[in-house]
């Protein structure tokens, strides 16, 4: 399919270093009135007054905003079952870590995932991917982590791969091998490092490896054991400081982690150190909205020169959210980002977290993942809450 998107307000996000840091995060590379040509799944030209072949499909933007497709770089969108009883407990004031101690939280989803077939898990994920695409997510990271055995983790990763094959966007799997644990943590960590990790990477050789560092989950020491084994051949990422600052950020920096995600409880000195390192920070404001009202200090992090990305953390317990526009609205209201910074965090920087250099910007030669909004002012992405601001989605060069 060849496309000519005409007379759009184009947020190119082009120019400058990737990922964007500090003041550069808010530079959207706006072309106030321009065109984009698409052919063979790629952007072929960007600029004002472009001419296209006669048989090209024309999309008249009439001054509305055209921007790169959203990259949701942190989700747990592959799961089975639900967590409604846990939510009822939370509404009565029971803290999440207490629910986790009682066998709820992650463990409830683990039981449901183990009972589900690979086909069922793939079907569940496929439905969620369809919802994400309608609201502009064209690339999504999906983690395992609800298996806790080698067999169940591989089942999840295979289900993610199966669902991805039926979706027009891009799914990036992540092996979340340090999510929860069963029995003694030291024994479980040894099993993961010696048995689970080799089996997973044998089938998924380039996969990123992740862990959740928190009380009642994986300790700093356990995460370091996993990452020291994995980081020589695989990108590593870590959930840290969601509820408690346990000291994982310095270790993540030392091990050249690609990102540290959450950051709601991070200490000021750790945020400064992270900002000055190559490791990116990923904020997940939908989690604060649904769970405990706490949000990462992303504005402070950006002011220190940090590279921040934004994601939904879509999962059944702490963030039952699939909408990147909603994540943008929360990031501006509660995390200290401007609308422009939040847009960059959800596109070019989120792509950088996943190591994807062919998207997140509107430039000739890049993958044609594009969104045409209903709006002529991109700030409405953050201003409005509820509803869907996306009028048209172009994914891999095809009009969805």
pTM of the model: 0.97
- What value does the mean pLDDT take over residues 249-277? 98
As a whole-number percent, the residues of the chain with pLDDT over 70 amount to: 100
Total of domains in the chain? 2
Q: Which residues pair with 175 in a beta bridge?
A: 209
Question: Would you state the pLDDT for residue 188?
Answer: 98
Beta-carbon count within 10 A of 368 CB = 26
**Residue 12 lies in domain:** 3-68+358-399
Indicate whether 87 and 101 sit together in one domain. Answer: yes
**Is the separation of the CB atoms in 42 and 97 below 8 Å?**
no
Indicate whether 309 and 391 sit together in one domain. Answer: no
Indicate whether 84 and 195 sit together in one domain. Answer: yes
Indicate whether 29 and 100 sit together in one domain. Answer: no
User: Hey, is 296 helix, strand or coil?
Assistant: coil
Supply the CATH number for residue 160's domain.
3.20.20.140
Question: Would you state the pLDDT for residue 106?
Answer: 85
Indicate whether 51 and 198 sit together in one domain. Answer: no
Indicate whether 259 and 383 sit together in one domain. Answer: no
Indicate whether 32 and 156 sit together in one domain. Answer: no
Encode pLDDT of 66-79 as tens digits: 999 999 999 999 99
Indicate whether 22 and 89 sit together in one domain. Answer: no
Encode pLDDT of 339-352 as tens digits: 999 999 999 999 99
* H or E segment to which residue 96 belongs: helix 96-101
Residues 6+ away with beta carbon under 8 Å from 301 = 263, 271, 274, 275, 281, 308
Encode pLDDT of 106-132 as tens digits: 888 999 999 999 999 999 999 999 999
Residues 6+ away with beta carbon under 8 Å from 387 = none
**Is the separation of the CB atoms in 171 and 131 below 8 Å?**
no
Supply the CATH number for residue 370's domain.
2.30.40.10
Confidence band of 12 (pLDDT split at 50, 70, 90): very high
User: Hey, is 154 helix, strand or coil?
Assistant: helix
Token pair for 23: 């003041």
Indicate whether 291 and 258 sit together in one domain. Answer: yes
- What value does the mean pLDDT take over residues 161-174? 98
Indicate whether 392 and 346 sit together in one domain. Answer: no
Encode pLDDT of 187-244 as tens digits: 999 999 999 999 999 999 999 999 999 998 999 999 999 999 999 899 999 999 999 9
As a whole-number percent, the residues of the chain with pLDDT over 90 amount to: 91
Indicate whether 195 and 323 sit together in one domain. Answer: yes
Question: Would you state the pLDDT for residue 186?
Answer: 98
């Amino acid at each position: 399919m060849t496309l000519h998107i005409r007379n759009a307000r184009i947020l190119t996000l082009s120019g400058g270093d990737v990922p964007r840091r500090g003041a550069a995060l808010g530079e959207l590379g706006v072309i106030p009135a321009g065109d984009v040509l698409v052919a063979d799944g790629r952007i072929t030209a960007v600029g004002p007054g472009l001419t296209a072949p006669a048989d090209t499909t024309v999309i008249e933007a009439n001054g509305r905003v055209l921007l790169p497709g959203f990259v949701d770089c942190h989700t747990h969108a592959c799961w089975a079952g639900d967590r409604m009883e846990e939510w009822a407990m939370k509404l009565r004031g029971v803290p999440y870590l207490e629910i986790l101690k009682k066998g709820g939280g992650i463990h409830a989803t683990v039981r449901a995932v183990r009972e589900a077939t690979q086909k069922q898990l793939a079907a569940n994920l496929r439905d969620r991917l369809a919802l994400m695409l309608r609201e502009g997510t064209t690339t999504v990271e999906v983690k395992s982590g609800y298996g806790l055995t080698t067999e169940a983790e591989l089942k999840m990763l295979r289900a993610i791969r199966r669902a991805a094959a039926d979706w027009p966007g891009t799914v990036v799997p992540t092996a979340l091998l340090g999510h929860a644990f069963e029995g003694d943590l030291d024994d479980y960590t040894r099993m993961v490092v010696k048995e689970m990790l080799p089996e997973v990477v044998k089938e998924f050789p380039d996969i990123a490896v992740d862990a959740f560092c928190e009380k009642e989950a994986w300790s700093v020491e356990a995460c370091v054991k996993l990452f020291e084994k994995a980081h020589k051949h695989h990108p590593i990422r870590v959930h840290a400081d969601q509820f408690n600052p346990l000291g994982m950020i310095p270790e993540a920096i030392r091990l050249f982690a690609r990102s540290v995600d959450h950051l709601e409880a991070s200490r000021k000195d750790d945020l400064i150190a992270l900002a000055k390192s190559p490791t990116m920070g990923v904020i997940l404001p939908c989690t604060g909205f649904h769970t405990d009202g706490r949000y990462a200090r992303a504005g402070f992090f950006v002011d220190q020169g940090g590279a921040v990305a934004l994601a939904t953390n879509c999962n059944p317990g702490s963030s039952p959210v699939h909408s990147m526009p909603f994540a943008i609205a929360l990031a501006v209201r509660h995390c200290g980002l401007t609308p422009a910074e939040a847009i960059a965090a959800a596109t070019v920087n989120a792509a950088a977290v996943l190591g994807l250099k062919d998207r997140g910007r509107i430039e000739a030669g890049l993958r044609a993942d594009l969104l045409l909004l209903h709006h002529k002012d991109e700030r409405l992405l953050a201003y409005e809450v509820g509803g869907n601001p996306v009028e048209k989605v172009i994914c891999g060069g095809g009009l969805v």
